[in-house]
Amino acid sequence: MAPMTSPFASETFTLDGKPTPFAPGQTVLEAALAAGHYIPHLCWHPEMGNHGSCRLCVVEANGRIHASCALPAQPGLQVVSKSETLTRVRRTLLEMLFAEGNHFCPGCEKSGDCLLQALAYAHGMTASHFDPFYPQRRIDASHPDLWLDPNRCILCGLCVRASLAEGKEALVIGGRGIASRLLATSPSGLLGDTALAATDRAARICPVGALNFKEVGFASPIGKRRFDHRPPEAMSDKERYT
């Protein structure tokens, strides 16, 4: 993707040794991506903004590690987004996400089309070194056009934010700690009893294999799937985001 500089960019900060322009109010992640400088992220989205849950966008600045999606750009700020420590931290975060859910890619219709998987490949993750949690959450297939596998959900909150923004308020993340999970806001707790529709923005924003359309799986040949040959870093916004 050609580097794009915001027309309002006036100041600069230093990102991995390079001067990076930013507009007032931009976060380090927003300014970096606008300048064509990729920083790994899962829960940030150009339309929905930041969430702060995935922690993959961590960078070193002011002598500590910050989430770049929440770190406001400041004139002259020194930011490191690539280091051995950051790669190791991100790989650990990816291994935590894999261990927490049931990420059996061999039977998942989002394989090759999944941001979590692509980021794990890009970080050279050969396996999650943690003991698996093997969660036992039930699939919700109550909706006529959509289905939810909560054991693949990474709690990025993109579907919740999309549904809120378009006035449906169909989804919410509930529970605390490891019990946190995506829930339908209907009194029955079923997706089919919410106003969620297949045409909704929320219905197609999930970056992994959690919230899916029914009966459309395994349509792309292996070798032609979204992430088959290129890591997220090498993609345009159009391809990278759902």
Partner 1 sequence: MTATAPTTTPPRKIRIATASLAGCFGCHMSFADIDTRLLALSEWVTFDRSPLTDWKTVGECDIALIEGGVCNAENVEVLRAFRRAARILVAVGACAINGGLPAQRNHHRVEALLTHVFETDRHLAPGSRVPNDPELPLLLEHVHPIHEIVRVDYYLPGCPPTAEVIWTFLMDLLAGREPHFPYPMLRYD
Q: Cβ(95)–Cβ(56) under 8 Å? A: no
CB of 168 to partner 1, least distance (A): 30
On the 0-12 / 13-18 / 19+ scale of CB atoms within 10 A, 154 is buried
> Residue 119 or 170: which CB sits closer to partner 1?
119
C-beta closer to partner 1: residue 21 or 209: 209
Q: Say whether residue 210 binds partner 1 (CB under 8 A).
A: no
Within 13 Å and on the Cβ side, how many CA atoms surround 192? 9
Give 48 or 56: the residue with its C-beta nearer to partner 1. Answer: 56
Decide: residue 232, CB within 10 A, 0-12 exposed, 13-18 middle, 19+ buried: buried
List 11, 70, 231, 242, residue binding partner 1 (CB under 8 A): 231
Quote the radius of gyration of the chain (alpha carbons, Å).
18
- Contact pattern for partner 1 over residues 84 through 113, marking x by CB under 8 A: --------------xx--xxxxxxx--xx-
- Provide, rounded to whole angstroms, the least separation between the CB of residue 196 and partner 1: 25
User: Residue 56, CB half-sphere, CA atoms under 13 Å: how many?
Assistant: 22
36 residue type, one letter: G
Q: Which of 19, 46, 132, 175 binds partner 1 (CB under 8 A)?
A: 132
Compute the 3-state secondary structure of the chain and give helix, strand, coil in percent, each to the nearest 5.
25, 15, 60
Q: Does 13 bind partner 1 (CB under 8 A)?
A: no
Q: Is 121 near partner 1 (CB under 8 A)?
A: yes
Q: What is residue 33's three-state secondary structure?
A: helix
Given the complex with partner 1, which of 106 and 221 has the nearer CB atom? Answer: 106
Which CB atom, from 126 or from 199, has the smaller least distance to partner 1?
Answer: 126
**Closest CB 145 distance from partner 1, rounded Å:** 24
- What residue type is assigned to position 11 of the chain? E
State the residues that interact with partner 1 by CB under 8 A: 98-99, 102-108, 111-112, 117, 120-122, 124-129, 131-132, 134, 136, 229, 231
